[in-house]
Amino acid sequence: MNRFLAFAVLCGLSLTACAQQAAPPAEGQKITVGAKTLVEPVYAAGTPEARVSQALRELDPRIQVESIQPSPIPGFREVIATGQVVYVSDDGKYLFQGGLLDIAKRKDMSEAAMAKLRLEILETLPVEDRIVFAPAGKPKHTVVVLTDIECGYCRKFHNDIAEYTKRGIEVEYLAFPRAGLASADYRSMVSVWCAPDRRKALTDAKNGRSVPTRTCGRTPVDMQYRAGQRMGLSGTPMILNANGELMGGYLPPDALLQRLEAKSAAPAGGA
């Protein structure tokens, strides 16, 4: 497997998910996740984690490893890298990707690992940097929606924003300009997030109305975009519940409410 294809495996063959990323730092150096600066762990020589880390860096030095943990499968480590969960043998020789299902618990172990990471990243993104549409009373559910102002399903979702809030769902938008940080789409989203009335600006942009060009000293668009990459975003909208669990892409109001209610009613450790 050549280096490009090897990297594509971890990127899910998605150029968007891997765009705009510089080569990752070496172990022990600082990386930024959202607004939080972390230090990549240094793995002791001769350990499975060290062999796995080295194997991935040899596979492609651009692979950004978030974590290497014990796996439910004996002889393998669970790795979160470039927004996906993969499993690498302790000797660093074998890698496979795809959902890992615990049959007895009926639980997707790969999604559970990603949900935990997404929640950690979301906790670094200030609520005041999000564009929030809240119900009149106390919300029954809160979702975080990574959105783009140009995508059709993002616009369809926002056209029904009053119906979502009517059902007690609070929607917290994060910016994800799909075309990247050098695009016209990005500049438009910066104008929205820098507007004095972000909610109106977002609604105007999603309805195809022009939004005055603006910049501001501190825009969260870059931070939210990079967070989306780390959370494994492969398309917009990406809807997450309060636990970082993926609800899917676009869902109509009633379907989203039903899915949220089902997740809330599911026993701990269930699917």
151 a catalytic residue: yes
Q: Where are the beta strands (DSSP E) in the chain?
A: 30-33, 36-39, 65-70, 76-81, 84-89, 95-97, 101-102, 107-108, 131-133, 141-147, 169-175, 238-240, 246-248
From the candidates 11, 18, 154, 194, which is the catalytic residue? 154
178 a catalytic residue: yes
198 a catalytic residue: no
From the candidates 151, 194, 226, 259, which is the catalytic residue? 151
Q: 52 is written with which tokens?
A: 């796995």
Contact 176, 238 (CB under 8 A): yes
From the candidates 77, 148, 194, 226, which is the catalytic residue? 148
Angstrom distance (rounded) from CA 50 to CA 55: 8
Q: 251 is written with which tokens?
A: 């869902």
Radius of gyration from C-alpha coordinates of the chain: 19
From the candidates 178, 226, 230, 259, which is the catalytic residue? 178
Please identify every residue annotated as catalytic: 148, 151, 154, 178
